[in-house]
Chains A and B, each alone.
Chain A
Amino acid sequence: MSEHRLRIDPAGTPRATVLIVPPLFEEANRTRRTLVLAMRALSAERFAAVLPDLPGQNESLVPLVEVNLDRWQDALAEVVSEIDGPTIIASFRGGALIDHKAQAAAWWRLAPVGGASLLRTLMRARVSADREAGVTSSLEGLQDEAKTAPQLLAGNRLSPAMIAQLGASEAQAVEPLRSVGLGANGIAGTPLWLRAEPGEDAAMAGAIAADISAWSKTCGIS
């Protein structure tokens, strides 16, 4: 895919490449800064780190309404196929819904979320914005309309196919996988992807990089 990729290389030969699959939609903006800090921390641990733009997201020229989860899965598979050496896929939140088609040496997921939950929030934002504008809409009505026509949900124009796929999408089984959450047994930090105002957390970025690095060693990547 001819999309931008942010790539941070370590000094010397990388142990492996970590492909960052960001959260989807607005959650990607809220976490981008911290994800890039994690990439810098990974490069200090001798990993190359790549953060690709998904078609229709970030700087992509593709209209969002033309993409769906299948296309994102294919785009990521293509990115990984062009990487030399072993690849570890690190996906965040909704990124875990699109990371399984790519061929990787190992997967790492932080706080994976079901597509239905993401879609519910997007639709609610629309209903809530409609209400502020004095328009009456409902989740049920939107779901009906979404079967046949694209819908503008929280600034994202999504096709019927995308909406249907999101509603049914769950993270798929991959092997080997480490799936972690936030908190004492996972990554210390706060759910920046929920924040109304984007924040950043360097300590959390460091914890993400350290966890991925430790996991890669147990997968035989040294």
Chain B
Amino acid sequence: MGSGIEGICPFRVEERKLTDSSSVDATLRAMLADVLGLGEDRAAALTEDSGLFGELPEFDSMAVATVLTEMEDRLGILIDDDEIDGEIFETYGNLLAFSLRKVTD
């Protein structure tokens, strides 16, 4: 078991094939609706240019953390600290591009 702290890295990257852009897009919208309480309509209305962090009042640092863990779970990816900069959360388009890059890595 060790100290358990090693366990923070989740070793459960499942072999889910979620690589096509429409399913990644749908997964991201549903996830943002869940975390930010956007409702289906607002989530569906997000465009590439829609602002996220700094624009949506619900999108605080705790929401950023929740979004990252949910992206890992739902997209079957692992996100390292140093991959994350402010730009990823600037717009929905940036978040989608980052996610597509991660699932096809």
A contact residues vs B (CB 8 Å cutoff): 26, 114-117, 119-125, 127-129, 131-132, 138-140, 143, 146-147, 154, 163-169, 190-191, 194-197, 199
CB neighbours (8 Å) of A143 from chain B are 5, 8
The verdict on A120 contacting B61 (CB below 8 Å), with A138-B81, A165-B4, A167-B4 known, is no
Query: Do B61 and A167 touch across chains, with their CB atoms under 8 A apart?
Result: no
Query: Do A195 and B10 touch across chains, with their CB atoms under 8 A apart?
Result: no
Query: Do B69 and A121 touch across chains, with their CB atoms under 8 A apart?
Result: yes
The verdict on A164 contacting B81 (CB below 8 Å), with A119-B8, A120-B69, A196-B59 known, is no
Query: Contacting B73 at CB < 8 Å: which of A117, A129, A154?
Result: A117
The verdict on A196 contacting B36 (CB below 8 Å), with A139-B81, A164-B5 known, is yes
Closest to B68 in A: A124
Query: Do B70 and A194 touch across chains, with their CB atoms under 8 A apart?
Result: yes
Query: Contacting A125 at CB < 8 Å: which of B5, B36, B37, B62?
Result: B62
The verdict on A195 contacting B34 (CB below 8 Å), with A125-B62, A140-B81, A168-B1 known, is yes
Query: Do B66 and A121 touch across chains, with their CB atoms under 8 A apart?
Result: yes
Query: Do B3 and A196 touch across chains, with their CB atoms under 8 A apart?
Result: no
The interface size bin for chain B is 20 to 34
- Interface residues in B86-105 by Cβ distance below 8 A to A read 86
Query: Do A154 and B35 touch across chains, with their CB atoms under 8 A apart?
Result: no
Interchain CA distance A191-B86 in the complex, whole Å = 26
The binding surface of chain A is classed by DSSP as: helix
Interchain CA distance A43-B53 in the complex, whole Å = 42
The binding surface of chain B is classed by DSSP as: helix
Nearest 4 pairs of A and B residues by beta carbon: A168-B4, A124-B65, A125-B65, A128-B61
CB neighbours (8 Å) of B63 from chain A are 196
Query: Do A146 and B62 touch across chains, with their CB atoms under 8 A apart?
Result: no
How far apart are A7's CB and chain B's nearest CB, in angstroms? 30
Query: Do B65 and A154 touch across chains, with their CB atoms under 8 A apart?
Result: yes
Query: Contacting B65 at CB < 8 Å: which of A115, A121, A165, A191?
Result: A121
Query: Do A123 and B8 touch across chains, with their CB atoms under 8 A apart?
Result: yes
What 8 additional pairs, Cβ within 8 angstroms, besides A121-B69, A122-B65? A114-B10, A117-B10, A120-B9, A123-B8, A140-B81, A154-B65, A168-B1, A194-B66
Say whether B18 faces chain A, with CB atoms less than 8 Å apart. no
Q: 0/1 per residue, B1-37, Cβ < 8 Å to A? A: 1111111111000000000000000000000011111
Interchain CA distance A142-B69 in the complex, whole Å = 17
